[in-house]
Structure 1
Amino acid sequence: MAYLLQQLANAVPLAALYAALAFGYSIAFGVTRRADITYGALFAFSGQMLLLFTDVGYNRLILILPAALAFGAAISFLYAMGVGLFVGRSIIQPLVAKSPNTVIVAALGVTIVLMESAWLAANMRVLWLPPFLNASVVFWQDGGFQVTLTEIQLINIGFMMVIVVAGGAILRFTSWGRIWRAVTDDALAAELCGTSASRVFLMAYGSSALVATLCGILSTSYYGTMDFGAGLMFGLKVLLIAAVGGYSDPLKSAGGAAGLGVVETIWSAYGPLVWRDLVVFSLLVFLLILSRRERAIP
């Protein structure tokens, strides 16, 4: 029983990460209507920039670790957000307007550029953060077995829950949320009613990039490192999760993603680890087939 409770506790950080990533991705997909692996690349890129500039701050600027982490997080945020806004405005938006299917190819090109740029900037080194905020918080105890999470896990859970809850409130209760829904339903009709679909596109893509950047920084702080393989794996899972949820409701996508995080963690605890990703992707494809809608995306 205690072991199961510990595994459920372990599932919460991963569920929170998946939920936040799926929420952010759904916002961008609402206006692009095309699969975009750039989202996973931005997630990984922000983490790698955090590693790189924390290393610069600690080893070159001789900052103490908290200051080096803050320096790395600030520069990572600026870099990743700058890249996200540039890609959204200069690459994705023109392609969506003229040739939507080329978005997938362009996203692959952007991903390769970001991957190689980060790899060269790090001088082809794998960087790691030193452990911090690793003190255990005990939730339950059964004899000598304790159900715990670390401080950094709890901080990450809190921030990611804030992202989802605050984002959901903005979409539901603000005028921007209503305008976003109008553009995602019918951009031309929204334009005829006086809404700038172009501006909404950029705001939605920027919001999505913001979520990917924050999640990349937070998860790298917890895991200690980040690579593009992990970023693209997260991005692909989120893409399929959001597809099952129908993309139209970011909160629904976030809820489905959180459920997947629990399933993945339970499988890792009780099933063969080598089959975990196969099982997860098979489950997502199966759910996607069951939830398939007979509606063409223009």
Structure 2
Amino acid sequence: MLYFLQQLLNGVHSAAIYGLLAFGYALGNGLLQRTNLAYGGIFAFSGQTMILAAVYGYQALWLTLPSTIAFGIVVALAYATLVSRVLSHSVFAPLAGRSPNAIVAATLGVMIALMELSRIAADTHDYWLPPMLATPVVFASGGNFVATMTVIQLINTATAATVIIGGAAKLSHSSFGRNWRAVADDPFAAKLCGIDTTRVFHRALLFGGICAGLAGVLAALYYGNLGFGAGLVYGLKILFITAVGGYYAPGKAALGAAAFGIAESLWAGYFPIEWRDAWMYGLLAAMLVLTGDRKDAPSPAA
């Protein structure tokens, strides 16, 4: 029983990262209605930027470890904001009214460019952060086995949960949330009612990109490193998860992604880990087929 509890606790951290990514992706693509392959690229790029900035702050600026981590986080979130804004205005808005394949191809190019920028900036080297806040917090014990989470896992989980809950509350109780739902349902009718659909479109994509950047920072803090190809892996998972749950309820998308993260952890605890991704992708594909086609609403930026 304690072993099962430990696998659940292991999955809580992954669930928080996946949930934050899914919330941001659904928030943007509920309006865009196009596959955004650059989203995973922002996630990985932000995590790698945080690590590189922290290394620079420690080695070149002689900052203390807490200061250099704070410096890296600020730089990473600033880049995530900049990239999201540029993508929203220079890629998504001009291509939103065209063939869906146009945005797929463009965002694939953006993801590759972000991966290569990170690789070139790091000179193809892997930089690792030192283990931080790795003190275990015991949740249950029995015999020689204890079920624990580390302090960094608890902080990351609380941070992601706070953003998701706060974002969901804003969508439910603010004028932006009402406008977002109106534009997601029918952008043309929303525009006739006086809603600035373009402003809602850009704000949603900007906040979604910041969610991806924050998730990348949290993952980098916990794992100490993010590979150059991590954006593609995480991006595809979130794409499948959100496609199954739909784009019109970011909170539900986050819950579904959290369940996926816990399921991944349970699989790794009881079954061969080398088959984990294959089975999880197969499960998502089967659910996508069973849920049927989603409606193809026009984009508010069209």
Alignment TM-score, normalising by the size of structure 1: 0.97
Q: Which residue of 2 aligns with 1:150?
A: 150
AA aligned to 1:283 is L
Give the whole-Å Cα distance in 1 for the aligned partners of 2:294 and 2:64: 57
1:268-279 to structure 2, matched below 5 A, reads 268-279=268-279
Conserved? CA contact 1:49–1:72, under 8 Å: yes
AA aligned to 2:75 is I
Conserved? CA contact 1:47–1:216, under 8 Å: yes
Q: CA deviation at 1:219?
A: 1.1
Q: Which residue of 1 aligns with 2:204?
A: 204
Conserved? CA contact 2:36–2:103, under 8 Å: yes
Give the whole-Å Cα distance in 1 for the aligned partners of 2:39 and 2:91: 14
Q: Which residue of 2 aligns with 1:106?
A: 106
Give the whole-Å Cα distance in 2 for the aligned partners of 1:99 and 1:278: 30
Q: Which residue of 1 aligns with 2:216?
A: 216
Q: Which residue of 2 aligns with 1:139?
A: 139
Conserved? CA contact 2:186–2:297, under 8 Å: no
Cα shift readout 1:27-75 (whole Å, capped 9, x = no counterpart): 0101110110111000000001001110000011111111111111111
Q: Which residue of 1 aligns with 2:179?
A: 179
Conserved? CA contact 2:182–2:190, under 8 Å: yes
Q: CA deviation at 1:293?
A: 3.3
Q: Which residue of 2 aligns with 1:10?
A: 10
Conserved? CA contact 1:41–1:228, under 8 Å: no
Q: Which residue of 1 aligns with 2:33?
A: 33
Cα shift readout 1:202-237 (whole Å, capped 9, x = no counterpart): 000001011001111111100100123222211111
AA aligned to 2:26 is S
Give the whole-Å Cα distance in 2 for the aligned partners of 1:287 and 1:228: 29
Conserved? CA contact 1:25–1:242, under 8 Å: yes
Give the whole-Å Cα distance in 1 for the aligned partners of 2:243 and 2:84: 22
1:257 aligns with 2:271: no
In the alignment, structure 1 segments of 5+ residues that lack a partner are none
Cα shift readout 1:141-169 (whole Å, capped 9, x = no counterpart): 10221110000000000001011100100
* 1:149 counterpart SS class: strand
Aligned residues: 298
User: Pairwise CA RMSD of aligned residues?
Assistant: 1.1
Give the whole-Å Cα distance in 2 for the aligned partners of 1:180 and 1:297: 14
In the alignment, structure 2 segments of 5+ residues that lack a partner are none
